[in-house]
Amino acid sequence: RDELGIDGDQRVATLMWNNAVHVEAYLAIPSMGAVLHTLNLRLPPEQLAWIVNHADDKVVIADGTLLPLLVP
């Protein structure tokens, strides 16, 4: 929490496959007091960027294989 600069009810997005690591994030993010914001990996990069900016996500936790969706 301190390393990421997340405090209070800030949003943390996830862009991950359905796996154990995503489940850990799914449980840990609300446990630390932040708001979980799951991103739809089927959306094109432009829409993902708009959603992340509009939601004011402070951190995006992403699977390495999905990074091309975030960095066009």
Question: 31-68, pLDDT tens digit by residue?
Answer: 989 999 999 999 999 999 999 999 999 999 999 999 99
pTM, full prediction: 0.89
pLDDT at residue 2, rounded to an integer: 63
Q: How far is CA 38 from CA 10, 11, 18, 32, in A?
A: 14, 10, 11, 16
pLDDT at residue 72, rounded to an integer: 66
CB 20 within 8 A of CB 41: no
Instruction: Using CB atoms within 10 Å of the CB of residue 42, give its burial: 0 to 12 exposed, 13 to 18 middle, 19+ buried.
Output: exposed
> Whole-angstrom Cα distance, residue 12 to residue 38?
8
Domain ranges of the chain: 11-64
